[in-house]
Structure 1
Amino acid sequence: MTINSFDRIKIPKGFWLGLHYLNIAPSIVVREAGLPLTIVNDQSFVTTDQYFALWQAFSDIVEDPAESTVKLSTNFENAQLPPSVMAPYHARDYRDALNRMARYKQLCAPERIHIVEEGELCTIELSWLFSERSEPPMLVGVSLASLVELGRRGTGKPLNAHAVVLSRPIGNIQALEAFFGCSVRTGSHRSRLILRRSDLDRPFISYNEELLEILTPALDKSLEKKLRNNSIKETVKWIMKQKLASGRPDMQVVASELGMSERTLHRRLMDEGASFKQLLTDIRRESALEYLENPLLDLKEVAFLLGYEDTNSFFRAFRQWEGDTPSRWRAEHLNANFTTDSTAIKTIH
């Protein structure tokens, strides 16, 4: 489990209300998730992996995850929403609402909402920073369905998605298609919601300029404080490690994951006496030593996992770090570990 000062989630009140609505006792879900009953306390925080475990337990208990997804996404009162989620419901239009949701989501959880407008479509993808596990399908379903419900309640129109793509099935797919008003496909690498860009221009009948003038400064201040009070170096290194295999991560990609501009990320790292380039070198070096201790990985695989295009580039970098070749370093350390283990066994006997 990743230990990170950012990896703290206060379980939303809506989660417990959803259990109540479906007549499920919180204690049953908590026990099924293998977590202590104390987290039912309104002030408790959990890690991303623990949060995922709760949603997976929730999904395992309900009769049909798809039908429960629809019920949870539609049966709630706006007044029950926290300020970070309430603000988008009073935005000027659907686009403004989605952007506000993406910005203030950071106050609730280490989850990012990526919005890309291209051509006639808008694609929305979700990602979590601090877990290598896949998001529970029901959590993905509720998250995407809630974004559609946001548009419907805000515009007062029967807005439908253009398409929905899920990485894994969520129960009765017909129930999901009836809700989203479009086809729902499964089996993709990453789940995504695809909207029509023309729908983003729809004004919100719930637009409340006065309320936003009150909420926005307070939310922006809370977000700035949250980001300022957390060390960012280890978070950046964690994101880098997850993205190395797909190529060398650049500052724009990492800044986007953190929901900030490149300039802000650069300044935050400088404040902590770090640089993006040096952190990338550090995480590559640390990861290289970790991978080389696994005899099942050949050197080409190690180079790939570190984001190098060829093994020669990896070899040159490793020699600069350790003053040796990867193969000799591996042989020496694996032999040293074997000798240590053998000595320990003899001592026991």
Structure 2
Amino acid sequence: MTSHDRIKIPPGFWIGLREIGFSMEEIAAKSQMNLAEIERPEGVTTSQYFTIWQAYSELVGNISEAVVKLSTAYDPRQYPPSMLATYHARDYRDALNRMAKYKRLCPPENLRKTETGENCHIELSWTDPAQSGPAMLVAITFAALLELGRRGTGQPIKAKLVEFVEPLGDGQLLQDYFGCPIRYGADNNRLTMKRSDLDRPFLSHNEELLEILTPALEHALDERQSKFSIVQTVERIMKRNLAGSRPEMLIVARDLGMSERTLQRRLTEEGTSFKKILSRVRHETALAYLMDPSLEIHEVAFLTGYEDQNSFYRAFRLWEGETPSNWRIRQKSTSTLAR
């Protein structure tokens, strides 16, 4: 996920949670967020989104149980447009193709679907490699893909294999739900299906609705790609030149083959600035590095472009309201409690 994106949580998510006995207020309290942050029209940040999922996982207590409960409780009538287009697809293959494509409209996950021999593989990666989501979110995404096929076809479709990079809770519960072996410690998060199941027609197919939804979704994809391309490029250049120095606009502009004035104008047109992007990149990079216990604070400061540790401390207090050391301790404590 690009750092300037925000994630809009669909109303159906909260409705599904209420169906299984949890409220938005409980999630907010557990995630140490206020309702105003969660309900912002532009959505939440990647970190906040991951925190919300972690809060739900901790409230349920058993990650596997949390996955199964929410996957089966989610009402298709509450799907956002991108998901609705998959539910009313022609068949399971069409639905998965649409899901992989339209997932780009609602990060932070990327889905890559391939068909080889008798298998269909769906791999999950994160749009922003510096921010990996909780294992709970990987599992709920794979469960949603399987649930889509089951609801669309009306058949009890089973997976062939589910692989996770990180371990989860009750493996037997997930194995019963997916109907296949569960493997932990894999190189990638991967869901493997029977290729023959992809030919199953959807009972929920609605061609008229697809004719309405598809052009709008395709337009949104084109608009998104056009809108964010320059910001993504600036961020990539910044990250590449961040260690040990503050990336200068002149250097970034030269890399892009344009003048500083042109670069600033392009960024202004997209509602941002060089300074805002740099602060955001440093912030998110710092959080990612602080999660690595092998790095000292002064090393994190250097890797995020600060020449001295005091400047890094001042910036971090503005971002998080506490010192990098305290933030790291709190994250470690939260992670320990989650286990």
TM range (shorter): 0.5 to 0.7
Change in 2 beyond 3 A, CA 1:233/1:141 = same
- Specify the alignment match of 1:66 in structure 2: 64
Residues 167, 184 of structure 2: 8 Å contact kept: yes
Deviation of 1:157 after TM superposition, in Å, equals: 1.3
Matched, 1:221 2:219: yes
- Specify the alignment match of 1:119 in structure 2: 117
Q: CA separation in 2, counterparts of 1:72 and 1:20?
A: 10
Deviation of 1:235 after TM superposition, in Å, equals: 2.1
What letter is aligned with 1:4?
A: S
Residues 49, 131 of structure 1: 8 Å contact kept: no
Q: CA separation in 2, counterparts of 1:105 and 1:80?
A: 17
Deviation of 1:35 after TM superposition, in Å, equals: 2.4
* Bigger mean CA offset, 214-223 vs 102-111: 102-111
Secondary structure of 1:9's counterpart equals coil
The 5-angstrom pairing of residues 167-316 of structure 1 reads 167-230=165-228, 232-236=229-233
Q: CA separation in 2, counterparts of 1:200 and 1:179?
A: 19
What letter is aligned with 2:14?
A: W
What letter is aligned with 2:26?
A: I
Deviation of 1:142 after TM superposition, in Å, equals: 0.8
Secondary structure of 1:74's counterpart equals helix
Matched, 1:102 2:80: no
Change in 2 beyond 3 A, CA 1:226/1:133 = closer
- Specify the alignment match of 1:149 in structure 2: 147
Secondary structure of 1:164's counterpart equals strand
Residues 11, 44 of structure 1: 8 Å contact kept: no
Change in 2 beyond 3 A, CA 1:68/1:3 = closer
Task: Kindly name which structure, 1 or 2, has the bigger radius of gyration based on alpha carbons.
Answer: 1
* Bigger mean CA offset, 142-151 vs 108-117: 108-117
Deviation of 1:210 after TM superposition, in Å, equals: 1.3
* Bigger mean CA offset, 195-204 vs 42-51: 42-51
Q: CA separation in 2, counterparts of 1:44 and 1:151?
A: 30
Secondary structure of 1:123's counterpart equals strand
What letter is aligned with 1:223?
A: L
Q: CA separation in 1, counterparts of 2:116 and 2:231?
A: 33
- Specify the alignment match of 1:129 in structure 2: 127
Residues 129, 239 of structure 1: 8 Å contact kept: no
Q: CA separation in 2, counterparts of 1:174 and 1:240?
A: 45
Match of 1:78 among 76, 80, 87: 76
Deviation of 1:11 after TM superposition, in Å, equals: 1.5
- Specify the alignment match of 1:4 in structure 2: 3
Change in 2 beyond 3 A, CA 1:46/1:112 = same
Change in 2 beyond 3 A, CA 1:109/1:94 = same
Residues 166, 187 of structure 1: 8 Å contact kept: yes
Q: TM-score scaled by structure 1?
A: 0.65
Change in 2 beyond 3 A, CA 1:65/1:240 = farther
Secondary structure of 2:159's counterpart equals coil
Change in 2 beyond 3 A, CA 1:181/1:31 = same
Deviation of 1:87 after TM superposition, in Å, equals: 0.6
Identity among equivalent positions (%) equals 46
Residues 104, 219 of structure 1: 8 Å contact kept: yes
* Bigger mean CA offset, 29-38 vs 143-152: 29-38
Q: Which runs of 4+ in 1 moved over 4 A?
A: 236-243
* Bigger mean CA offset, 20-29 vs 186-195: 20-29
Change in 2 beyond 3 A, CA 1:151/1:3 = closer
What letter is aligned with 2:204?
A: S
- Specify the alignment match of 1:26 in structure 2: 24
Matched, 1:160 2:158: yes
Change in 2 beyond 3 A, CA 1:239/1:169 = farther
Q: CA separation in 2, counterparts of 1:239 and 1:203?
A: 42
- Specify the alignment match of 2:257 in structure 1: none
Deviation of 1:96 after TM superposition, in Å, equals: 0.7
Secondary structure of 1:215's counterpart equals helix
Residues 48, 130 of structure 1: 8 Å contact kept: no
Listed as ranges, the gaps of 5+ residues in structure 1 are: 244-271, 273-289, 291-295, 298-329, 339-349
Q: CA separation in 2, counterparts of 1:177 and 1:201?
A: 24
What letter is aligned with 2:211?
A: E
Match of 1:38 among 36, 39, 50: 36
Deviations 1:129-181 (A, max 9, x none): 23523321211111000100111111111110010011222221111111100
Aligned residues: 256
Q: CA separation in 1, counterparts of 2:65 and 2:91?
A: 29
Q: CA separation in 1, counterparts of 2:157 and 2:10?
A: 26
* Bigger mean CA offset, 84-93 vs 26-35: 26-35
Secondary structure of 2:122's counterpart equals strand
Deviation of 1:10 after TM superposition, in Å, equals: 0.8
Q: CA separation in 2, counterparts of 1:169 and 1:138?
A: 10
Secondary structure of 1:46's counterpart equals coil
Deviation of 1:238 after TM superposition, in Å, equals: 5.3
Deviation of 1:44 after TM superposition, in Å, equals: 4.8
Q: CA separation in 1, counterparts of 2:214 and 2:2?
A: 31
Q: CA separation in 2, counterparts of 1:17 and 1:123?
A: 30
Deviations 1:255-275 (A, max 9, x none): xxxxxxxxxxxxxxxxx8xxx
Residues 111, 124 of structure 2: 8 Å contact kept: yes
